[in-house]
Amino acid sequence: MATLQLASRTSDAWIEQATQHIDLILLDHANCEKKAAGNALSLLFRYPSNGQLVETLSPLAREELQHFERVHRHLQRLGIPIKPLSAAPYASLLNQHLRRPEPDHLLDALLVAAIIEARSHERLGLLGIHAPDPELRQFYLWLTAAEERHLQIYLDLALAHFCADHVQERLHTLLQVEAEILSTLHPEPRVHS
Ligand SMILES: [Fe+2]
Ligand SMILES: [Fe+2]
């Protein structure tokens, strides 16, 4: 089974920033889950005749919304006021690397989604160890398994549509781009700061 190795490890500086501002991380995380659902949905709109894609990404979108609901419950349990929050530049910078023409666009969209899931898996796992609240730690450890499955779904979709060498080559490039984006810590505490 092909898998995906991130090109960099999350720094201790991010762990410190995240654990000191867990309220903002939770608020941002709620937005990330909505965006993960929205991204899967937008692929359903873009490729409606692709049966394999529709059958795997529709349940994935539903699962991301269930994650959102669970994050929302933790926000309420902890009494964190819900407020609008600007996004980290991470996803929009990554999306600038999506090529427009097909079929390149499909490959890039699947690989960028896989990379975001992989980074989320890594960082939520760190929150599972370092979050200040025991219920949150338990929640994050549970969540990492789902995000790992999601990265595999996106990677398998890429491999089902494109030859393995081509996937690996493009994946390598996008992984370098992603590591470069995260090489300086964004000053606002976010899941992908
Ligand atoms: Fe999720
Ligand atoms: Fe996910």
What is the CA(186)–ligand 2 centre distance, in A?
22
Asked if residues 122 and 130 have their Cβ atoms less than 8 Å apart, the reply is no
Q: Are 176 and 7 within 8 A, CB to CB?
A: yes
Name the token pair of 139. 């929640």
What confidence tens digit (pLDDT) does each residue in 34-78 have?
A: 999 999 999 999 999 999 999 999 999 999 999 999 999 999 999
| Residue 3: pLDDT over 90 | no
Q: For residues 112 and 131, what is the distance between their CA atoms, to the nearest angstrom?
A: 27
Comparing CA positions, the residue from 148, 192, 174, 29 lying closest to residue 95 is: 174
Domains of the chain: 12-181 (1.20.1260.10)
Tell me the backbone φ, ψ of residue 100, rounded to 5 degrees. -80, -50
What distance lies between CA 120 and its chain's CA centroid?
5
For residue 99, the CA-to-ligand 1 centroid distance in Å is 25
Model pLDDT for residues 101-140, shown as the tens digit of each residue: 999 999 999 999 999 999 999 999 999 999 999 999 999 9
- Of the listed ligands, the closest to the CA of 148 is 2
pLDDT at residue 1 in the model: 62
Q: What tens digit of pLDDT does each residue of 130-177 get? A: 999 999 999 999 999 898 999 999 999 999 999 999 999 999 999 999
Mind giving me the DSSP string for 84-149? Answer: --PPPSHHHHHHTT--SSTTHHHHHHHHHHHHHHHHHHHHHHHHHHH-SSHHHHHHHHHHHHHHHH
Cα–ligand 1 centroid distance for 18 (angstroms): 18
Cβ neighbors of 138 (< 8 A, separation 6 or more) are 128
pLDDT bracket for residue 2 (50, 70, 90)? confident
Segment 68-90 mean pLDDT: 95
